Structure 1
Amino acid sequence: MRKLIFLFALLGGLTLTSCINDADLPPLERYEKAHARGVASKQKTNDFFLGLELGIAKREYYDRCTVLNKNQQITMAGGGNAVDHQLPDELDRPATMTFAPDFGDSYTVEAMDVLFSYVDWSPWNKNAHSDKLLKDVAEWMDEQYGGEWIVVPHEVLGSIVTQVNNNRAIAIWMKDSQIVQARFTDLSVLPEEKLGQKIR
């Protein structure tokens, strides 16, 4: 039932929120208020996936990735800090999740950029294009992280699905016809970043 409610909200461009006072605000204003609360929050929500977290030191991040690699949970993605993690059953069809940390100047994980794509994507396989994938990833993220999500219209990207939970902000959008991009941001160190604006 939760999935159906979330999917309906995504398709309809509605916003899921538990804050009755914000119910009549446009999505962007709701997001702005959520962002401000996240920046001001003293509570930390640093987890994202595979035991990795926002705020950990660069050395600790690589040590954890070494263990994940030995356990065959990740493989090198072909350049830089990016690694691949396979999602054979988590989404509606097998997918690859490629992620890379953003250490900034602090030598800690300030943000994480994540790319999703279906394994069977091709230009003619419309069922594996990113409009379908965005809905799929958004549902999966909802199952992983719960909380309240806001769908914010965007003039270039179409829409951005976003959540702010204490210091952790998540933004999800279609990068192109194949890839859905997500960005996890630690607002305690990047308070000015909004809606995953550091798009690669």
Structure 2
Amino acid sequence: MKVFFFIAALSFIISCNNDANDYESLMAKEVSSGKRADSLFFGIYLGMTSKQFFTQCWQLNKQGIFTDGNNNTAVLYKLNKNELKYPASMNFYPEFRENKIYKMWATFQYDGWAPWNKHMYSDSLLPELLKLYKTWYSSGNPFIEMHDKERGTIYVKVDGNRRIIIGRYNDMIVKVDYADLLVDKQ
């Protein structure tokens, strides 16, 4: 029995190391490829200036697509057109370096989330959101599944300079982080 647990533990450690090795080699290959994948969503892209970002958000706000997000510190997009199993909210906001977007965070939650609605917890939202992201970002490399000590199972996609990480943040929220690896590298 002890031998079985030792072999199982060793297999788990090797698989975690393989995940990390696969991820590191994919990142190195993509960053050195010279390919650019700047598109994020709704016409927003890595390298966009803050003025362009605010203009784009204002235009989409006038069309009723975007509105003010959490505490007026984010942009809100309501996913209610059968994009997910239940109506949900996407709050997002970029980080700028030298007045250009180089990172973007987005959080997703089902609008009907409540402690008693277990079917609307983030562990149910995560696979639905991953399916949506596979349609939004269908070209390039696939999402790879990795295991993170703090966030649990996460999904990572690296295409050229763009990295997308999707993972559970807490019982209510799934967080998505975008980064321009070429800017991060500097």
- TM-score with structure 2 length normalisation? 0.85
> Is the aligned partner of 1:180 residue 2:181?
no
What one-letter code is carried by the residue in structure 1 that aligns with 2:144? I
Deviations along 1:42-91, one digit per CA (max 9) or x if unpaired, are 11111111111111111111111110111111111144641100000101
Equivalent residues of 1:46, 1:167 under 8 A apart? yes
Determine the structure 2 residue equivalent to 1:133.
Answer: 125
**Cα–Cα, structure 1 residues 44 and 66, in superposed 2: closer, same or farther, change >3 Å?**
same
**Matches of 2:59 and 2:42, distance apart in 1:** 11
What one-letter code is carried by the residue in structure 2 that aligns with 1:82? A
Deviations along 1:117-151, one digit per CA (max 9) or x if unpaired, are 00110011111000111111111101111231111
Flag structure 2 segments of 5+ consecutive residues without an equivalent.
1-16
Determine the structure 2 residue equivalent to 1:47.
Answer: 39
**Cα–Cα, structure 1 residues 108 and 80, in superposed 2: closer, same or farther, change >3 Å?**
farther
Equivalent residues of 1:38, 1:187 under 8 A apart? no
Determine the structure 2 residue equivalent to 1:122.
Answer: 114
> Is the aligned partner of 1:167 residue 2:161?
yes
Identity over aligned pairs, percent: 31
**Matches of 2:168 and 2:23, distance apart in 1:** 19
**Matches of 1:191 and 1:80, distance apart in 2:** 31
Q: Counterparts in 2 of 1:93-132, with a 5 A limit? A: 93-103=86-96, 105-132=97-124
Equivalent residues of 1:149, 1:163 under 8 A apart? yes
- TM-score with structure 1 length normalisation? 0.80
Flag structure 1 segments of 5+ consecutive residues without an equivalent.
1-24, 193-200
Give structure 1 regions of 4+ aligned residues with deviation exceeding 4 angstroms.
none
Between Structure 1 and Structure 2, the one with more strand by share is 2
What one-letter code is carried by the residue in structure 2 that aligns with 1:64? Q
Of 59, 75, 90, the residue aligned with 2:51 is: 59
What one-letter code is carried by the residue in structure 2 that aligns with 1:30? D
Does 163-172 or 139-148 show the bigger shift? Answer: 139-148
> Is the aligned partner of 1:69 residue 2:61?
yes
**Cα–Cα, structure 1 residues 188 and 81, in superposed 2: closer, same or farther, change >3 Å?**
farther
Count matched residues.
Answer: 167
Between Structure 1 and Structure 2, the one with more helix by share is 2
Equivalent residues of 1:81, 1:101 under 8 A apart? no
Larger Rg: 2
Kindly report the root-mean-square deviation, in angstroms, between the aligned alpha carbons of the 2 structures.
Answer: 1.4
Secondary structure of 1:59's aligned partner = helix
Equivalent residues of 2:70, 2:76 under 8 A apart? no
Determine the structure 2 residue equivalent to 1:16.
Answer: none
